[in-house]
């Protein structure tokens, strides 16, 4: 698919993987809008990227409706949605509160659902569209301490499969991306210590893989792929 002049919306686009994806799409000639909850970081990132920005919480229905409709009103269409916004809480089952579980699901499950629903309404009208859901290798196999985060990514994977089957008849491609460990501020925000090393993935690797998947001719698509560091040890 030719990416130049395509209209793209990237959630969680002010930093990390989302910012790298927005940068890569902008470099390909896309008209990119980024969104997140923190206006200061969002505005700063948009200025550097040359992107448009909209403040919003993906887990709030009124924000998602406003965000998608604003992009469509401004550009007349929406071609690409990247559901990237997400965060994690990593605790043993017995120490995880119901409120913490709800909070993770608010962003990682309800957010993609709301954004996908609003985008899909326009994709169906257009008979075209690209939906990229950023999951995690934590959504492929459960592990200790990941009740909240891991299960939220399992849920996203399940929703992606449903949307893929439902929307492909409308010429909409729905893809799931499972990054392994990426060197961003994600772990710090979750209170998880990890070694910083050049051997592990950077956001740019995820962005490059997504651009490559989008460039596949629209008669076919890559339903799901994972990105691992070659030798992180």
Q: Do the Cβ atoms of 174 and 161 come closer than 8 Å?
A: no
User: For the chain, where are the alpha helices, taking DSSP H only?
Assistant: 16-27, 39-49, 61-75, 98-105, 111-126, 147-167, 186-189, 203-214
Edge-to-edge strands, sheet with 172-179: 52-55, 31-36, 7-11, 80-83, 129-134, 172-179, 224-227
Q: Do the Cβ atoms of 147 and 195 come closer than 8 Å?
A: no
149 is catalytic: yes
Looking only at the bridges linking them, the beta strands covering 7-11 and 31-36 are parallel
Please give the Cα distance from 192 to 148 (Å, whole number).
14
Check 110, 113, 149, 154 and give the catalytic one: 149
Radius of gyration in angstroms for the set of CA atoms belonging to the chain, rounded to a whole number: 17
Residues contacting 2, CB < 8 A, separation 6+: none
Q: Helix (H, G, I), strand (E, B), or coil: what is residue 106?
A: helix
Q: Which position has the token pair 């089952």?
A: 93
Catalytic residue numbers, as ranges: 149
């Amino acid at each position: 698919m030719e990416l130049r002049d395509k209209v793209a919306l990237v959630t969680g686009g002010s930093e990390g993987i989302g910012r790298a994806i927005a940068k890569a799409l902008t470099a390909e000639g896309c008209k990119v809008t980024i969104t997140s909850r923190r206006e200061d970081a969002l505005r700063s990132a948009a200025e550097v990227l040359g992107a448009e920005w909209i403040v919003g919480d993906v887990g709030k229905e009124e924000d998602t409706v406003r965000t998608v409709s604003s992009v469509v009103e401004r550009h007349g269409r929406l071609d690409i949605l990247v559901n990237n916004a997400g965060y994690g809480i990593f605790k043993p089952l017995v120490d995880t509160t119901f409120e913490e579980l709800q909070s993770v699901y608010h962003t990682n499950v309800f957010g993609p659902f709301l954004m996908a629903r609003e985008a899909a309404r326009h994709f169906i009208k257009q008979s075209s569209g690209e939906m990229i859901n950023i999951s995690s290798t934590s959504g492929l196999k459960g592990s200790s301490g990941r009740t909240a985060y891991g299960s939220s990514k399992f849920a996203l994977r399940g929703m992606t499969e449903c949307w893929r089957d439902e929307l492909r008849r409308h010429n909409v491609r729905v893809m799931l991306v499972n990054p392994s460990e990426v060197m961003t501020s994600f772990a710090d925000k979750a209170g998880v210590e990890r070694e910083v090393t050049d051997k592990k993935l950077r956001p740019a690797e995820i962005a490059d893989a997504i651009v490559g998947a989008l460039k596949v001719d629209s008669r076919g698509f890559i339903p799901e792929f994972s990105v691992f560091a070659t030798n992180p040890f």
